[in-house]
Amino acid sequence: MQAATTKKDIRSLTLEELTNALALLGEKPFRAKQIYEWLWKKSALTIDEMSNLSVELRQKLKDAYSINHVVVDEKQISKDGTIKNSLRLFDGNMVEGVLIPTETRMTACVSSQVGCSLTCKFCATGKLDRKRNLHADEIYDEVVILKNQAEQYYQKPLTNIVFMGMGEPLLNYKNVLQAIDKITGSHGLHMASDRITVSTAGIAKMIKQLGDDQVKFNLALSLHAANDEKRNRIMPINESNNLPVLGEALAYYYAKTKSMVTFEYIVFKDLNDTLTDAEELYQFSRYVPSKVNLIEYNSIDGGEFQNTSGNKLHRFKAYLEEKGLTATIRRSRGKDIDAACGQLANKKHKDAIMN
């Protein structure tokens, strides 16, 4: 476990702030660019790794700054190859990050908050208290850890990033966007923006802000019911961000970005799995050019919901397709280690393969 430090984290500095700090040490501006490259392109975990800096300068930096990097506390490997990581932050808090390998993709599922404040009834994370937001550098670290695992275990590069782990990304707006800047920027990991998806439970004000900021990444809405009464029951956030309000926010977002929206829809038995529900989903989808991911429900401890039958799921999908809406059934991965959608809750699994 890392010891907490009172030193300022050097990664919290902008390039301009770093340049000014080095000027006070009598160093030239190009040194700041070198350090910035070590931090964000090369993902340095210690100041001592910065080999093109003098020993004297490295010591000055160590005296003044720390790098509070994230560490893997525990790693579990599913039968299907999914890797779930319990990640320890510098202050001892824990989050989870998951690498999801398929034949065509290597996807990093990252967390944005320690816990969550939204209390969605079907989600294990929603049963945890929200302790704090992740900093931009901590989100960046999650991506680097999962990127390295993709290369180490599968000899493949990371292809996609989804903000579908613990927490509500749009309630940590500034840090999420700063992290994505470091992940996609030429000064950082230089990954493609269109390979990143930010998933929200539906914060209308912040969806509009994404439009105003004309973001280049993809937006997904965790919908799960296109009926206010049903959605209120399973997602309390809907009481303050109801479907008409969300639909208007999504239309605003699309007008600003011209980016298609993905609706995520867990199909629950006897709750939202009828053709009437499918029609409601289709009608809501008309707010904005969109597609639908139909998701298997993954049970959680004490959960009150069940997955719908295969027949109903396929009939639901066929109905949407008949209406001209693209619908994909997303099969869950990592169930045996509680790494699937909705299962992240910092719970250790005794049967996991430990590496």
Q: What is the CATH number of the domain that holds 233?
A: 3.20.20.70
Read off the CATH number of the domain in which 39 is found: 1.10.150.530
Catalytic site residue from 27, 96, 142, 264: 96
* Two structure tokens written together for 120: 């969605």
Catalytic site residue from 109, 120, 123, 341: 341
Average pLDDT per block of 10 residues along the chain, 355 residues long? 71 97 94 98 98 97 97 95 96 96 96 90 77 97 98 97 96 98 97 98 98 98 97 95 98 98 95 97 98 87 79 97 96 66 48 36
Looking at residue 51, the DSSP 8-state letter turns out to be T
Same domain flag for 38 and 147: no
Q: What is the pLDDT of residue 352?
A: 37
Same domain flag for 170 and 256: yes
Same domain flag for 52 and 139: no
Residue 4 covered by a domain: no
Q: What is the pLDDT of residue 192?
A: 98
Q: What is the pLDDT of residue 121?
A: 78
CA 203, CA 257: separation in Å to the nearest integer?
Answer: 17
Same domain flag for 321 and 287: yes
Residue 2 covered by a domain: no
Radius of gyration of the CA atoms of the chain, in A: 21
Residue 123 annotated to the active site: no
Of 23, 44, 66, the last residue of a domain is 66
Number of compact structural domains in the chain: 2
- Phi and psi of 156, rounded to 5°? -135, 150
Residue 1 covered by a domain: no
Residue 76 covered by a domain: yes
Q: What is the pLDDT of residue 304?
A: 79
Q: What is the pLDDT of residue 342?
A: 47
Residue 109 annotated to the active site: no
Instruction: Give the predicted TM-score (pTM) of the model.
Output: 0.92
Smallest CA-to-CA distance from 264 within 240, 235, 299 is with 235
CA 290, CA 146: separation in Å to the nearest integer?
Answer: 29
Same domain flag for 27 and 79: no
Same domain flag for 179 and 261: yes
- Residues β-bridged to residue 74: 86
Same domain flag for 164 and 100: yes
Measured CA to CA in angstroms, residue 144 lies from 138, 150, 168, 188 at distances of 10, 10, 21, 11
Q: What is the pLDDT of residue 331?
A: 79
Same domain flag for 164 and 187: yes
Residue 97 covered by a domain: yes
344 and 332 in contact (C-beta within 8 Å)? no
Same domain flag for 137 and 54: no
Which domain covers residue 36, as residue numbers? 9-66
* Two structure tokens written together for 203: 């914060």
Q: In sequence order, which residues have a C-beta less than 8 Å from that of residue 248 and are 6 or more positions away?
A: 204, 287
Q: What is the pLDDT of residue 117?
A: 84
Q: What is the pLDDT of residue 123?
A: 81
CA 254, CA 22: separation in Å to the nearest integer?
Answer: 43
Q: What is the pLDDT of residue 334?
A: 66
